[in-house]
Structure 1
Amino acid sequence: MAARHACSPLEALLVDSSFEADVYPDEPMRRHTMYRIGGPARFYVQVASIGALKRLVQACQATTTPWVAVGRGSNLLVSDEGFPGVVITLGRDFRACRFDEETCRFCVGAGVPLSSVVQEAFRRCLSGLEFAVGTPGTVGGALRMNAGTREQGIASQVVSVTTLSPRTGLVRREASDITWGYRSSSFAADDVIVECELSVKPADPYLLRGKMEASHTRRKKTQPLTLPSCGSVFKNPEGASAGQLIEAVGLKGVQSGDAQISEVHANFIVNRGNATARDVLELINLARSKVYEAYGIELQPEVRFLGFA
């Protein structure tokens, strides 16, 4: 009789009926990135609870299976070959947004779209988050990269962040225990952000509406919002604009396959239809080398890469 293949702890978990998650084997990542680009993840798993997240991360660690937690894929480029491990996304229990009137704080799950928190704050005439109007990602993704404008990042409103990691388990950190930088934070790669508290304050609704509309109008005028992209590709170097540098070396509108350095804003690379990750990467490398040749400035990518060697 042929020997039966022994199930790994990960495989056993993924077929366990008590595991609170939706499991998709060989799931094309183009369905889960704003770029609409990316090959298959070995497993794409939407966990519904902290318990399920804990079990999944432990099973990945036990089988040395690579894993990564993602939000809405707004800042992500996945390789055409895909990702040979587990992509984790946060479902049911991570999608609550509660407001505490006493402390004037939102308690928000990391899977909540940042835009819906901004709208809820506006509905309640609360200020502090209007800078993030139109930001496409989740709260977890926004915290990890300290999303925002040049003038203000989400860190300025953070009271605390709760993370789960295979090393430390669940940990709640005060905002002051976290190092925040321009488009960066000190969370470890294996810290999964699960929840946060954000402080806001009462404001004049007309003033609030004016600020949000002005910000939204500026985004519509200066960014290519009608085509799939990952948002800004590069961080702005100290005292300069990445978009202006790329435009100055003559790359605005340049294409590789169906990927194009946007004609609206040169720090955006857009997918004009069937762009591949290879097309996008070619333009990223071209922009970096041309700007370095001309100005001696090394552009640092803001986009996260997944599944590349």
Structure 2
Amino acid sequence: MSLFNAYMSLSGATDADVRRDERLAHHTTYRIGGPAGLFVTVHSYAALLKVVSVLAEERVEWVILGKGSNVLAADAGYDGCVIVLDDEFSRIQVGEGGLVTAGAGALLSRVVNEALKAELSGLESCVGIPGTVGGAVSMDAGTRREWIGQRVRDVVTLRPGEGLHRYEASEIEWGYRCTSIPTSEIVLEATFQLERGKKQAIAEDMEARLRRRRSSQPMGRPCCGSVFRNPPERSAGILIESCGLKGATAGGAQISEEHANFIVNTGRASAADVVSLMGRAHDAVRDRFDIDLACEVKLLGFGA
């Protein structure tokens, strides 16, 4: 693997910004994380093809990063290349028949707002969810009863070394915080099938959902959303709270006092602090309830 050769090959590349040792704390909602070996922002499909081709030639590991809203980056950083999709991948188009097409780099909040302006209903459950369309589709974001995959008509991905591939929604297995889209593929855009509605009713529904989120989650504080997936018919937050861990701390990290399935950065937390609390919560729930909580957070730079 040669990060240096990849850096030299990509420096000055058209439609791409290439940096070395970019701190991931600047690109995750946790505000935690050491440097990435390479950090490349691509602005076009041609630039993305160039980047993944060079990385393959130099055998450099890579990962796509949206807004880092579901990522915990290691304190030591990531010894590979972080790719961010921008510009050409951030477009949103409202079409006929309730169709909305959005690039993987588009903020999910923007898509929700564009649907509201067009008086289209169906994405209300996504209000208040941070991150990009690519991340939301890849993890089938949503609530316990509603998820974004229910509104997807099709998804376009890039298969490195092969080219573009279009999936019909029915070809994808949509699961709880996961899909069958291979992790080796890069989600480029998704088209959503929405329904006509009344703007006021849609707005009121969104505002009610936001109020519920604000009242029960630590919105506005550095975190990455739910830490563990909810077990069948159970709440991870309630299980952790039942173990007396609400408000527990490790260094600068704290299990949220608003919702025990959130771990917040109080201002000086390290990734090690967060991992310590994750382990403490997991083990406490396993020991008391014999339930093995599955991590929902994506860990970056922690090795195999």
Normalising by structure 2, what TM-score? Answer: 0.97
Alignment equivalent of 1:193, drawn from 169, 175, 187: 187
Instruction: Work out whether 1:211 is the aligned partner of 2:205.
Output: yes
Change beyond 3 A, Cα 1:256–1:18: closer
Is contact 1:131–1:148 with CA below 8 Å preserved after alignment? yes
Aligned to 2:21: 26
SS in 2 for 1:297: coil
The CA distance in 2 between the partners of 1:7 and 1:218, in whole Å, is 45
Aligned to 1:169: 163
- State how 1:1-309 maps to structure 2 within 5 Å: 10-15=6-11, 17-101=12-96, 103-309=97-303
Deviations along 1:65-100, one digit per CA (max 9) or x if unpaired, are 110001000000000000001000001100100011
The CA distance in 2 between the partners of 1:277 and 1:8, in whole Å, is 27
The CA distance in 2 between the partners of 1:178 and 1:266, in whole Å, is 32
SS in 2 for 1:24: strand
Runs of 5+ consecutive residues of structure 2 not aligned to the other structure = none
The CA distance in 2 between the partners of 1:148 and 1:96, in whole Å, is 22
Is contact 1:13–1:19 with CA below 8 Å preserved after alignment? no
Letter in 1 for 2:94: F
Aligned CA RMSD, in angstroms, stands at: 1.4
Alpha-carbon distance, 1:9 to partner: 5.6
The CA distance in 2 between the partners of 1:185 and 1:18, in whole Å, is 33
Letter in 2 for 1:44: F
The CA distance in 2 between the partners of 1:8 and 1:276, in whole Å, is 28
SS in 1 for 2:204: helix
In the TM superposition, structure 1's runs of 4+ consecutive aligned residues that sit over 3 Å from their partners are: 6-9
Is contact 1:133–1:212 with CA below 8 Å preserved after alignment? yes
Is contact 1:235–1:302 with CA below 8 Å preserved after alignment? yes
Aligned to 1:3: none
The CA distance in 2 between the partners of 1:249 and 1:88, in whole Å, is 39
The CA distance in 2 between the partners of 1:147 and 1:280, in whole Å, is 22
Count of matched residue pairs: 302
SS in 2 for 1:68: strand
Alpha-carbon distance, 1:107 to partner: 1.0
SS in 2 for 1:116: helix
Letter in 1 for 2:33: G
Letter in 2 for 1:76: V
Deviations along 1:272-306, one digit per CA (max 9) or x if unpaired, are 00100000000001111000000110100111000
Is contact 1:8–1:63 with CA below 8 Å preserved after alignment? no
Runs of 5+ consecutive residues of structure 1 not aligned to the other structure = 1-5
Alpha-carbon distance, 1:8 to partner: 6.8
Deviations along 1:77-127, one digit per CA (max 9) or x if unpaired, are 0000000010000011001000112x3201110000000110111111110
Alpha-carbon distance, 1:20 to partner: 1.6
Normalising by structure 1, what TM-score? Answer: 0.95
The CA distance in 2 between the partners of 1:168 and 1:303, in whole Å, is 29
Alpha-carbon distance, 1:18 to partner: 4.2
Letter in 2 for 1:130: E
Deviations along 1:190-216, one digit per CA (max 9) or x if unpaired, are 211111101111112232122111100
Percent identity of paired positions between Structure 1 and Structure 2? 45
Alpha-carbon distance, 1:13 to partner: 2.5
The CA distance in 2 between the partners of 1:179 and 1:167, in whole Å, is 24
Alpha-carbon distance, 1:12 to partner: 3.7
The CA distance in 1 between the partners of 2:172 and 2:59, in whole Å, is 28
Deviations along 1:160-211, one digit per CA (max 9) or x if unpaired, are 1011122532111111111110111012122111111011111122321221
